[in-house]
Amino acid sequence: MAMDWDKLKAFYSVADAGSFTRAAEKLQLSQSAISRQISALEESLNVSLFHRHARGLILTEQGELLFENVQSIFRQLSLIEGQLLDSKTRAEGPLLITVPDLIGNLWLSPLIPIFQKENPEICLSVIMEDRVLNLGMREADAALRLYKPEQQDLIQKKLGEIKLVLCASQEYLKENPTPETAEKLNEHTLIGHPAEAPAPFAKPNWHFEAAGINPAGYRNALFINSMPAVLESVRQGCGIAALPEPIIKKNGLVTILQDSLSHVISLYFVYPEEHKKSKRIALLRDFLALQMAK
């Protein structure tokens, strides 16, 4: 008995997303259409593929077996699709990259229109979040990461380094004496990264550590997982935060303990080994390397 590819695609999307709603959004179909395809597939196979309950969907034993095999098939098809795109003599087509919030909002955003103007045949999509997407499973074509990847099957290029320095607004420092040592930071409101959110790089609360402060027990603190929101909080005089040097200068903020206290992080451009011949990825990689060197 031959299985319908549309029904298998619907099943794969539902199993991967864990809900009819998210699968319908991904496939741009109605939820009822997805549900009908799954029901038809179950009827043709004479098995139940999902346990349905109020909190979502769970694969049955038969569903797990089908998903394991279908996942492998769709991954191979995705790889072939990517290789066909990479084999083109011209750099064109879709390109999806994932970028940490820190880099995406404060550095990459102004560069996107420039890249698109120079490469109009590349359709660039950018996911800005600190969650690490799986490049091997084609969740993205390439990534910018604030740490050196350990996976052996990823090609990586170090674009440069970013120096983080403590800063505050002039208004904040008018009302609060400028700390002259790291230990004096415990007399101030410190803005940091929440422990509950994915860390964009190692030790995002390094300034708490330098001051000998345990972030979890420090009452005079503000935690935000969005770098633009951190920047705006500093500009509004909410406290002291660690920001990239160029951002500090651009926004007229005052650096604090710049000569004795800073944190350097490296920026890497990474992509899977199977994309080593991709002209689209090479163009973006070289473009970002040039911008970082300026």
pTM: 0.68
What's the confidence (pLDDT) of residue 43? 87
Cα distance between residue 282 and residue 154, in whole Å: 14
Q: What domains lie within the chain, and their CATH numbers?
A: 5-86 (1.10.10.10), 97-159+266-293 (3.40.190.10), 162-264 (3.40.190.10)
Tell me whether strands 262-272 and 154-168 are parallel, antiparallel or unpaired: antiparallel
For the record, the structure tokens of 290 come out as 């040039």
Cα distance between residue 285 and residue 289, in whole Å: 6
What's the confidence (pLDDT) of residue 82? 59
What's the confidence (pLDDT) of residue 1? 45
What's the confidence (pLDDT) of residue 131? 82
CA nearest to 122, candidates 287, 280, 292, 288: 280
One-letter amino acid identity for 77? L
For the record, the structure tokens of 120 come out as 């109009």
For the record, the structure tokens of 64 come out as 């797990």
Q: What tens digit of pLDDT does each residue of 98-148 get?
A: 999 888 888 899 999 999 999 999 999 999 888 887 787 778 899 999 988
What's the confidence (pLDDT) of residue 49? 87
What's the confidence (pLDDT) of residue 81? 63
Those residues of the chain that have pLDDT short of 70 are 1-3, 54-55, 76-92
What's the confidence (pLDDT) of residue 181? 93
CA nearest to 56, candidates 109, 17, 30: 17
Beta-strand runs (E) in the chain: 50-53, 56-59, 93-99, 122-128, 142-145, 154-168, 190-192, 221-223, 241-244, 254-256, 262-272
The helix/strand/coil state of 127 is strand
Q: What is the mean pLDDT of the chain?
A: 87
What's the confidence (pLDDT) of residue 294? 75
